Amino acid sequence: MQSIWLREGIRLLFEKIRTQDRFLLDFHESVQPLTWHFILVGKQKTVDFSACQETSISINKGKFFLHGRGLRGSNIEDFANAGPYFSVTIFVHLQALRSFVSDASGESPPELKHLLRSNEMPCYKRVGKTSPMMYALLQQILQCPYTGLTKRMYLESKAIELLVLLMEEEAIIHQDKAQANLPGLDRRDRIQYAQEILMNNLTNPPSLMELARQVGLCDCNLKRGFKETFGTSVFGYLRDRRLEKAQQLLLEPWITVTEAARTVGYESRSAFTTAFKQRYGMSPKAYQTLARK
């Protein structure tokens, strides 16, 4: 286990375990900081005994477990013949989180208040999927090319980039769904809102029907409004923004074409190459080679 403190209130924890027999970690009831626990290799099961009820949550490679701030009940982490296991955890204490998200009066956004419960309230919990962009940042953290002071600065910058993605995802999940249906929002406002949702979810966008529901329009009005406002379809807008993001990523020396494709939501490298070539007139590999000369 290796623990690294970044700025006050933010900590990274790396855990590497190899087991042949069943391995249990027993935790007593405690007040938890805001925590994201990423599984990169292996799997684990958490058995929670909060409120005299036993609940079990299993997570494996490619998933993360989020604990909001608040009271975490007694629990056992169970590594039953798990073999090799590797995880990265980021802890964010209250003062650090408030320095990022609170307004001038110290008030936190309503869509994030579920993450900031009091010491007496059970903490919020959620299992999430590690997006390609999150995974890329975790790999950059693990492969930090610096030492000493510059290492700490680099890790902090990457941890904050990761927090941006995580907090944005959480805000979107818990944003007030009535926002799109407030009186006074005309169709143009709703189209702009749809555009913001797409920009915040390039790698995992909602379906057309779900996007229409979120902004309070029928799908026909959404498609027509998007064409009038942005001169392209919803899918065309999403594709263009993804390719622009990929173009920026390809300028980074540590990013491969496959990683860039996955980071912007393309599972198939060939589909990404075709789309990139149609927009920029050359393959992503050729663009990358040219840009690095």
Assess whether the region 2-173 and the region 237-291 belong to the same CATH fold. Answer: no
All structural domains of the chain with their residue ranges: 2-173, 176-231, 237-291
Amino acid at 272: F
Question: What does DSSP assign to residue 6?
Answer: -
pLDDT of residue 39: 94
pLDDT of residue 105: 61
Residue 210: partners with Cβ closer than 8 Å, 6 or more residues away = none
> Which residue in the block uniquely carries the two structure tokens 């419960």?
117
pLDDT of residue 285: 92
Q: What is the CATH number of domain 2-173?
A: 2.60.120.280
Could you read off the pLDDT of 181-210 as tens digits, one per residue? 545 567 788 888 888 888 888 877 888 888
* Cα–Cα distance, 239 to 270 (Å, whole number): 15
Residue 55 or 188, more confident: 188
Lowest mean pLDDT among 10-14, 34-38, 78-82: 78-82
Average pLDDT over residues 253-276: 89
Could you read off the pLDDT of 204-253 as tens digits, one per residue? 788 888 888 778 788 888 899 999 999 999 999 999 999 999 998 998 88
pLDDT of residue 178: 42
* Cα–Cα distance, 232 to 169 (Å, whole number): 26
63 near 127, Cβ under 8 Å? Answer: yes
Average pLDDT over residues 51-55: 55
Residue 63 predicted with pLDDT over 50: yes
CA dihedral sign, ordered 161, 167, 173, 176: negative
Residue 66 predicted with pLDDT over 90: yes
pLDDT of residue 236: 92
Q: What is the topology classification, in CATH, of domain 237-291?
A: Arc Repressor Mutant, subunit A (1.10.10)
CA dihedral sign, ordered 198, 203, 206, 207: positive
pLDDT of residue 44: 85
The mean pLDDT value of the chain amounts to 85
Residue of 128, 185, 187, 124 lying closest to 162 (CA atoms)? 128
pLDDT of residue 182: 46
Q: What are phi and psi of 74, to 5 degrees?
A: -60, 140
pLDDT of residue 22: 79
Residue 20 predicted with pLDDT over 90: no
pLDDT of residue 53: 52
pLDDT of residue 97: 85
Could you read off the pLDDT of 111-164 as tens digits, one per residue? 787 888 888 888 888 889 999 899 999 999 999 999 988 999 999 999 999 999
Could you read off the pLDDT of 90-122 as tens digits, one per residue? 999 988 888 887 766 667 777 787 888 888 888
pLDDT of residue 142: 95
Cα separations (Å) of 134 from 112, 181, 204, 228?
A: 20, 32, 12, 34
- The helix-helix angle for 234-249 and 187-199 (nearest 10°) equals 30
